[in-house]
Structure 1
Amino acid sequence: MSNDKPKLTPRQQEIFELIQRAIARTGAPPTRAEIASELGFRSANAAEEHLQALARKGVIELVGGTSRGIRLKAGTLRTVNETRKRGGESSGAASNVLPFNLPLPGLEQLVLPLVGRVAAGNPILAQEHVEQTYSVEPGLFARRPDYLLRVKGMSMKDAGILDGDLLAVARTRDARNGQIVVARLGDEVTVKRFQRTAQGIQLLPENPDFQPIVVSPDQEDFELEGLAVGLIRNQLLN
């Protein structure tokens, strides 16, 4: 990518900055409808036209099949990270998944193990589960991750988490409602949105084709493994 910044129109710049603010504030890009509402467009189609123009200029990438399928290109990640730091973001915002690209060159690297298929009853970071390691820039994450987990399936598609992606996970045994977590249920490790109710815990998908998982208060095979704090897109590793 050239070091020259692409020239954006005032409206394109406005949308681009809106995307950056949304990611810095919530950890997720806005939907087309949210962009239209924020900027007073009559429909989401108008927002889509501007997003297509930004994609052609190489500052964002559009991912099909998800309402929040907007990714900043590698050259813009430093700006977003600086925005997050200036905003004094609390660790609570780390619950949202960030659509990050690969690390920027010349920066300090964090070496993370990649966990693949997890055997029942074994710790998630057991040596036999580690497929390989990756070097990433630690500043990309609002909270330092402990490992990468290879995502299986499309149950979190509408949160921008796709099959084969590498999810950055910070180990914890506690979570707040609305956070995206990695949980173990018997022989399975799953990525879902956490919700605690009076009846127990619900693990909510972000895809209408999937049903919530209900965890009863006396269920013994449930364990919270960690919080999602970032994402590396699978195709960027090929």
Structure 2
Amino acid sequence: MIEPLHDNFKVVPLTRELYDYLVRQSEPPTPVQRRLEAQTCALGAVAGMRVPHEQATLLTLLARLVEAQKIVEVGTFTGCSTLALATGLRPGGTVVTCDLSEEWTGIARTAWKEAGVEDRIDLRIGPALETVAALPLRNDLDLVFLDADKPHYCQYWDLLVPRLRPGGLLIADNVLQQGQVHLPHATGNVRAVREFNAHVRADPRVESVMLPVADGLTIARKRSDPA
């Protein structure tokens, strides 16, 4: 039971039954998505890095809303989010996705091929900071999805916002850190994300909202002119 902060405080406690209902209200997963989720879950504890289905559905929807043709993803893992983003691309569009692991992205490649989106995905193996820094500075990215090593979130942000077109979206995952991010004496990844969240709020180039989707999702839209 959540204690209300005031009479108009609205938060719905998310039980397993309610969560299952919520997922059923999203577009259903494709057979490829179901197989990829099962393969990812079979990896054990690291499977916690995957995006859940309702979040993947949201990524597809957002890509379609901005009519994305150029997407950059920082953090591929087994490609669940990459598949969702590629599904939302306009014809002829590309997702550039960055990761270090040949093993995990090997699982991703198989799924992308099965889903028929392999030709839309440009996988780049290597340190993501180097990959992102090497991207052309053209202000032409439509959407960015940030889901990688938390201590470098602020650096990724500063590299990617100038490459985003006005009206483009930068989406950052895991911004609630399992409900620990508000703690003032946080350390490690939690502290890094807390500092990142403050960095986003202080950036006049964007307007943003933080949503309690999965482990927290920030959606930022680049302004046409800084406020």
Question: What is the TM-score of this pair, normalised by structure 2?
Answer: 0.25
Q: Indicate the structure with greater helix content.
A: 2
Higher RCO by CA contacts (8 Å cutoff, separation 6 or greater): 1
Question: What is the TM-score of this pair, normalised by structure 1?
Answer: 0.24
Structure of greater Rg: 1
